[in-house]
Amino acid sequence: MNNKTLRWNLVFQYGYTITNIINSLVLLPVYIKFIDSNILGLWLATGNILAWITMSDPGIGDILQQKIAELKGEKKDSQIGATIGSGLLACMLVFIISILVGIIFYYFIDNILGEDVLIYNELRIAIIISIVSTSITLLSFGTAGINQGMHKSANVAISYISSNLLFLLINICLLYFEFGVVSIAIANLVRAIFLTAYNTLVILREAREGKLHIILNLSHFKKFIKIFSVTSVSKVITTVSNNMDLIILARYLPGSFITLFEVNRRPIKMAQSLIGRYSVALMPLLSHAKGTGNYGEVTTMLAIRIKYYFQVLLFVSFILCLNYEYLISMWTSKDQFAGHTIIYLLIGSFFFGTMGYFMSNISFALGEIRFNSIISSIKGVLSIILSIIGVVKFGIIGVLVSVLFINFLLEFIVFTLKVYKLNYLNLSMFKGLLNIWSIVIPIGLFLLWGEDIVSQEFYNEYSYSMKLLISTLMFCLPYLAINILIDSELRQSMIKSKEYLIKKLNLNKGEAFQKV
């Protein structure tokens, strides 16, 4: 496995996610200061509608990444060139469709929102610019997917992180010069153009240097777009279902409870987004390894990473159970904590959903694009149906139980079985992991129970930040010690890491001494 490529993939995934979070934290108060509150509210509402334009993209970037990485492993250069050519044509087609969809939404946006949005000149300009920027962004997904498949991860990482910094800088400058809400739209447009141009230049440079040949073949293009017959439907259903939960709750529960639910769900969604990035970073490497025909490498790669990914996920789930009340109380107020039952159901969905997301990405990377799309469509439809039944019969608890059930069955179980049937899963790894968990989970639950008693007796009057710090230390030290004690592979890995660091430090000291 190419560790350098993996490192750059991780830089891309986590760098882009973290800069997005930083931008959100920095820019929201700036927006509130420089943009009229009514116009800002309408802009945020139109943002959800503009996001529907992304349904025009059937996932071209992901498909190009998987196909090209696999073909690169198989050393089929002519097929890579034809796939890139077909992919670029498909990207242009999506760009045109998304512009048309955006124009339709533009003329109906007042009716959709029930507000006279277009009477505000700056909003009208911002929406028009945003339609173009969203369409160009979809175009950039394809070019970035090509570079990811070609293992140009460093270029993709640099382009995405730089684009976010560029977005932040332009936004603040234009807001300072009183561009209002138009500044957001212009910053988005510049970011989209930068991403597309940067990744396109990388592709053209590779073509100019003779490292790849872009082939435009109509018959190949017809075969290529057949993949999207399933992925397009899946994308629409998934997009709708992902945005239906709060709409369903709003029809049956008070608005104040919706706000409470969203506040309690937000930290878990952020944790899921951060942890899930790791599996996305692995995808092009898995596709490439599969293309080489080295099944042993793929199996070994998965065995190691699944084990430690699941271990980290279990640890994070325990930490969330331990500190969620403190976290919400510190972030907002104690009155905003939704209660332990709701939180435990959210964390359960997070645990199985994130494991399932990992396995679904593996399935996709190994070429099961059609299977993934079908399961995603079934999951989307089932989520809407069960959520409606759940909220009518049992309120919010019914919705959360239905989500937990779907994440366990359709995310974790189905995709794990699929990867197993592809003969890429090592059953001995799962048996070893279950043996470790049979000891670790009861001890973890005991530590949670013990911390609750100790906190009430000894530091109940402390601030929430101090409670969070003390409880985390009380849990982490014995929990991690027990994991190291019972997991021989973890101990060996830590010893090897220590030896590598010592060797690296000694080597650096030797080089410094020679220079002197």
pTM for the whole thing?
Answer: 0.83
Task: Note the pLDDT tens digit of each residue in 67-80.
Answer: 998 888 888 888 88
Tell me the mean pLDDT in the region 424-452: 90
Cα gap 296→44, rounded to integer Å: 49
Extract long-range pairs of 327-332: CB within 8 Å, 24+ residues apart. 327/267, 327/464, 327/468, 328/263, 328/264, 328/267, 329/464, 330/464, 330/465, 330/468, 331/267, 332/263
Quick one: what percent of the chain has pLDDT higher than 90?
40
CB 262 within 8 A of CB 336: no
**DSSP helix/strand/coil, 119:** coil
Task: Note the pLDDT tens digit of each residue in 308-352.
Answer: 999 999 999 999 999 998 888 888 778 888 889 999 999 999 999
Domain ranges of the chain: 1-226, 429-515
Q: Residue 296 has what pLDDT?
A: 80
Query: What is the band of 266 on the pLDDT scale with cuts at 50, 70, 90?
Result: confident
